[in-house]
């Protein structure tokens, strides 16, 4: 019954729509971009993990770079588009920026729960593929579609229910609360699409396909900016090269920003499903029948992986919300500067997130194949790559802090305050890289509990305590000093666990 439902309601319609009606750019050219000779060579290297063939250091480096590069480019594109998005809202004034900033941490909380739920299944798939169990991997994929969809619907209902009182709970002012509430409500309603996008992208990456999720994430960012351009601003005249163009617009402000975001997510979700279900070499479900009913064993493994990650996201986002509550009484300028500086700082760590995604795939497939030495080598390679990349990005952040803040806001007080914060944070990037990539390594190995405890202890004991003490005397600058110190502590904690080797599991998660 469940299998028939998903074939009739999801898989067959998605395949039909994109096979018959999607523009060739979305299907043909993206598919061509992911089936080049270089891509096939890297796929052969991934196959060497499964077969147990020896891999030279050069091959390991080549595969790591090949998987990391599209993920890094996708993450960078996301940040660039967020800059543009933030500048659009920022041009409306500090109150509109503060409205989004007020509920951003809460939105991240819900997104983190969705990501954790999807990760519980994608890690299993990576281990099955590493062990050569393609059929078992498809079985996990089928079950994950049902489980994740049901979970996301429940979460969407909770988000919609709390959207009205949430800004009041966070201490927002009257001028921002209504806008913040509408923004959060729209994001909440469309959470199921975001969850399936997370799941489909994670499944493609677990199979070693980083290019399709990367390209589609770039497309999502472009669509977000395009939709926002017409939805946020009213109809107006724009001067371009001496010519005046009458540009239509809806003039929806913050609400338009939310609608533009979810529209981009829906398109990306459907495209991601299309490539996963019909084009993936290892995971396509078209023509491969099986049950969609979740089994106790699969759910139990997902629970063991996801629960620590979900608890971490709850506690970490609780800490972000607590930080927002510390910043909110400092005024709209401080709140807007804080959210813009967070967006700007993500320029540094998003490349690390891309490398972390590659680390999860490489370590996960090596774990499934039972190749512990290869797990260690891929861990070392990806962590070093992350440190080097984020160190360079930290230097650029320090040098360009004023320019980046000026791009997102025309208000001088916001620009100057945000610049101070960014130049403090830049010093933490090398050690922050170790925690980001190290976490991806440990997730790939199925080791999620201890890393989550380390993240939580660092955030709540170090950052929140220091931020509370310093905000009263140093304002927002004090909050960011606390953040810098905490990220350095967190990096040292992850470095210690990586060097200890305790993250390497004795058996693959699929055998436990």
Answer yes or no: is 507 within a domain.
Answer: no
Answer yes or no: is 510 within a domain.
Answer: no
Name the burial class of residue 454, with classes exposed (0-12), middle (13-18) and buried (19+) by CB atoms within 10 angstroms of its CB.
Answer: buried
pLDDT at position 112 is 85
Residues 71, 75, 79, CA angle at the centre, nearest 5°?
A: 170
pLDDT tens-digit map of 139-174: 999 999 999 999 999 999 999 999 999 988 887 788
List beta partners, residue 234. Answer: 250
Answer yes or no: is 446 within a domain.
Answer: yes
List beta partners, residue 239. Answer: 244
Answer yes or no: is 101 within a domain.
Answer: yes
Average pLDDT over residues 479-491: 95
What is the signed CA dihedral for 300, 306, 307, 312, rounded to 10 degrees? 170
Answer yes or no: is 274 within a domain.
Answer: yes
**Number of Cβ atoms within 10 Å of the Cβ of 172:** 24
**Domain containing 318: what range?**
2-502
Q: Please name which of 202, 42, 59 lies closest in space to residue 117, comparing C-alpha atoms.
A: 202
pLDDT at position 82 is 61
What is the signed CA dihedral for 307, 309, 312, 316, rounded to 10 degrees? -140
Q: Report the distance separating Cα 25 and Cα 275, nearest Å.
A: 13
Average pLDDT over residues 433-458: 91
Residues 233, 221, 63, CA angle at the centre, nearest 5°?
A: 170
pLDDT band at 506, cuts 50/70/90?
low
Answer yes or no: is 257 within a domain.
Answer: yes
pLDDT band at 32, cuts 50/70/90?
low
Which residues, other chains included, contact 289 with Cβ-Cβ below 8 Å and sequence gap of 6+? Answer: 3
**Contact between 445 and 375 (Cβ < 8 Å):** yes
pLDDT tens-digit map of 54-99: 888 888 888 888 888 877 777 777 666 666 666 677 677 777 877 8
Q: Report the distance separating Cα 127 and Cα 214, nearest Å.
A: 22
The one-character DSSP state at 26 is I
Question: What are the backbone angles phi and psi of residue 183, rounded to the nearest 5°?
Answer: -60, -50
Answer yes or no: is 433 within a domain.
Answer: yes
Q: Tell me the pTM.
A: 0.79
Residues 199, 205, 208, CA angle at the centre, nearest 5°?
A: 150
Number of domains in the chain: 1
- 3-class secondary structure for 423-445? HHHHHHHHHHHHHHHHHHHHHHC
Under the phi-then-psi rule, with left for phi > 0, alpha for psi from -120 to 50, and beta for the rest, what region is 172? beta
Answer yes or no: is 139 within a domain.
Answer: yes
- Mean pLDDT, all residues of the chain: 84
Average pLDDT over residues 115-123: 91
Residues 226, 228, 229, CA angle at the centre, nearest 5°?
A: 65
């Amino acid at each position: 019954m469940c299998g028939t439902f998903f074939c009739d309601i999801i898989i067959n319609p998605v395949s039909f729509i994109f096979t018959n009606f999607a523009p060739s750019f979305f299907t043909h050219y993206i598919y061509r971009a992911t089936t080049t000779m270089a891509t096939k060579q890297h796929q052969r290297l991934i196959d060497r993990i499964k077969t147990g063939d020896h891999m030279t250091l050069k091959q390991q480096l080549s595969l790591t770079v090949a998987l990391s590069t599209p993920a890094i480019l996708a993450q960078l594109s996301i940040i660039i588009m967020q800059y543009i998005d933030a500048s659009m809202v920022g041009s409306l004034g500090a109150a509109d920026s503060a409205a989004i900033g007020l509920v951003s941490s809460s939105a991240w909380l819900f997104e983190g729960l969705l990501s954790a739920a999807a990760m519980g299944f994608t890690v299993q798939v990576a281990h099955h593929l590493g062990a050569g169990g393609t059929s078992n991997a498809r079985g996990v994929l089928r079950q994950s579609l049902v489980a994740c969809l049901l979970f996301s619907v429940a979460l969407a209902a909770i988000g919609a229910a709390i959207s009205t009182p949430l800004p009041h709970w966070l201490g927002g002012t009257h001028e921002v609360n209504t806008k913040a509430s509408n923004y959060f409500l729209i994001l909440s309603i469309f959470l199921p699409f975001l969850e399936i996008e997370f799941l489909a992208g994670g499944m493609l990456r677990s199979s070693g396909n980083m290019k399709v999720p990367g390209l589609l994430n770039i497309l999502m960012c472009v669509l977000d900016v395009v939709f926002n351009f017409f939805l946020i601003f009213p109809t107006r005249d724009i001067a371009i090269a001496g010519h005046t163009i009458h540009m239509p617009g809806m003039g929806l402000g913050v609400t338009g920003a939310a609608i533009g975001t979810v529209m981009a997510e829906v398109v990306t979700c459907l495209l991601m499903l299309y490539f996963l279900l019909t084009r993936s070499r290892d995971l396509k479900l078209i023509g491969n029948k099986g049950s969609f009913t979740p089994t106790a064993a699969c759910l139990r493994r997902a629970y063991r992986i996801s629960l620590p990650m979900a608890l971490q996201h709850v506690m970490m986002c609780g800490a972000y919300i607590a930080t927002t509550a510390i910043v909110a009484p400092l005024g709209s300028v401080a709140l807007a500067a804080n959210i813009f500086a967070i967006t700007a700082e993500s320029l540094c760590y998003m490349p690390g997130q891309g490398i972390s995604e590659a680390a999860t795939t490489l370590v996960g497939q090596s774990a499934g194949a039972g190749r512990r030495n290869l797990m260690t080598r891929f861990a070392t390679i990806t962590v070093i790559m992350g440190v080097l990349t984020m160190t360079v990005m930290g230097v650029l952040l320090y040098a360009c802090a004023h320019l980046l803040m000026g791009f997102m806001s025309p208000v001088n007080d916001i620009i100057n305050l945000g610049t101070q914060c960014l130049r403090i944070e830049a010093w933490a990037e090398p050690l922050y890289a170790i925690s980001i990539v190290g976490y991806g390594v440990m997730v790939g190995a199925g080791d999620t509990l201890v890393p989550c405890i380390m993240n939580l202890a660092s955030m709540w004991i170090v950052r929140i305590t220091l931020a509370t003490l310093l905000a009263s005397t140093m304002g927002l600058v004090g909050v960011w000093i606390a953040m810098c110190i905490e990220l350095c502590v967190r990096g040292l904690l992850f470095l210690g666990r990586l060097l200890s080797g305790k993250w390497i599991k004795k058996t693959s998660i699929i055998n436990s």
